[in-house]
């Protein structure tokens, strides 16, 4: 993806200043979007679906294939900054299938709907549930810490939780 403002700043400002301003802008934008998902998730969901609809067209069933059962940022938000997935769908090179797996067959996957998807390789990548710090209960000043309400600093330290760092990976 191209950041027009960052590219313009790089042309007229010293590299480090342009970098710092771009990082500040992107951090504030991310924080704004995240906070909006917490305070008005339906509005954010509608906006995101509108953006997908603009990419795929009005006749594409966006609601079926791009509406999860949870609100934005309740789980990670999938971004497609260069629209490569949407381009592949529009061209017919890719397809989104929303269904449940009934069973694996010799040639692919049979879905609950009865449809079979041929596949040479199947990568299982759904259902991953990450657990923060082994689900150990943490309290600060007698108050329970809900890590989903905290921000992380460089992926190690947590906001409002002093003297705690952790790494994952």
pLDDT in tens, 64-113: 999 988 999 888 888 888 899 999 999 999 999 999 999 999 999 999 99
My answer on whether 93 and 104 are in the same domain is: no
My answer on whether 135 and 158 are in the same domain is: yes
My answer on whether 136 and 169 are in the same domain is: yes
My answer on whether 76 and 107 are in the same domain is: no
My answer on whether 50 and 89 are in the same domain is: yes
Tell me which residue has tokens 């993806």.
Answer: 1
Return the ∠ at Cα 67 (arms to 64 and 73), rounded to 5°.
Answer: 170
My answer on whether 53 and 93 are in the same domain is: yes
Q: What is the mean pLDDT of the chain?
A: 91
My answer on whether 49 and 94 are in the same domain is: yes
Q: Is pLDDT of 1 > 90?
A: no
DSSP 158: E
Q: Is pLDDT of 127 > 70?
A: no
Percent pLDDT > 70 in the chain is 97
Split at pLDDT 50, 70, 90, the class of 30 is very high
Q: Is pLDDT of 169 > 80?
A: no
Burial class (CB in 10 A: 0-12, 13-18, 19+), 131: exposed
My answer on whether 116 and 158 are in the same domain is: no
pLDDT for the residue numbered 126: 65
Mean pLDDT for 4-13 is 95
My answer on whether 6 and 25 are in the same domain is: yes
My answer on whether 72 and 83 are in the same domain is: yes
Q: Which residues neighbour 97 within 8 Å (Cβ) at sequence distance 6 or greater?
A: 65, 111, 115, 117
Containing domain of residue 63, as a range? 45-98
Number of domains observed in the structure of the chain: 4
Q: Which of 19-28, 45-54, 66-75 has the lowest mean pLDDT?
A: 66-75
């Amino acid at each position: 993806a191209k950041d027009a403002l960052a590219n313009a700043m790089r042309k007229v400002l010293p590299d480090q200043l342009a970098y710092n301003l771009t990082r500040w802008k992107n951090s504030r934008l991310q924080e704004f979007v995240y906070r909006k998902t917490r305070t008005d998730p339906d509005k954010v969901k509608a906006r995101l679906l509108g953006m997908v609809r603009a990419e795929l067209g009005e006749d594409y069933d966006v609601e079926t294939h791009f509406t999860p059962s949870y609100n934005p940022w309740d789980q990670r938000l999938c971004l497609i900054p260069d629209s490569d997935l949407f381009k592949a769908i529009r061209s017919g090179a890719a397809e989104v299938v929303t269904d449940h797996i009934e069973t694996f067959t010799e040639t692919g996957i049979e879905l609950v709907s009865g449809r079979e998807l041929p596949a040479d390789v199947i990568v299982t990548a759904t259902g991953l549930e990450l657990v923060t710090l082994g689900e150990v209960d943490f309290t600060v000043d007698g108050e329970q810490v809900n890590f989903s309400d905290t921000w992380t600093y460089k992926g190690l330290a947590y906001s409002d939780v002093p003297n705690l760092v952790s790494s994952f990976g």
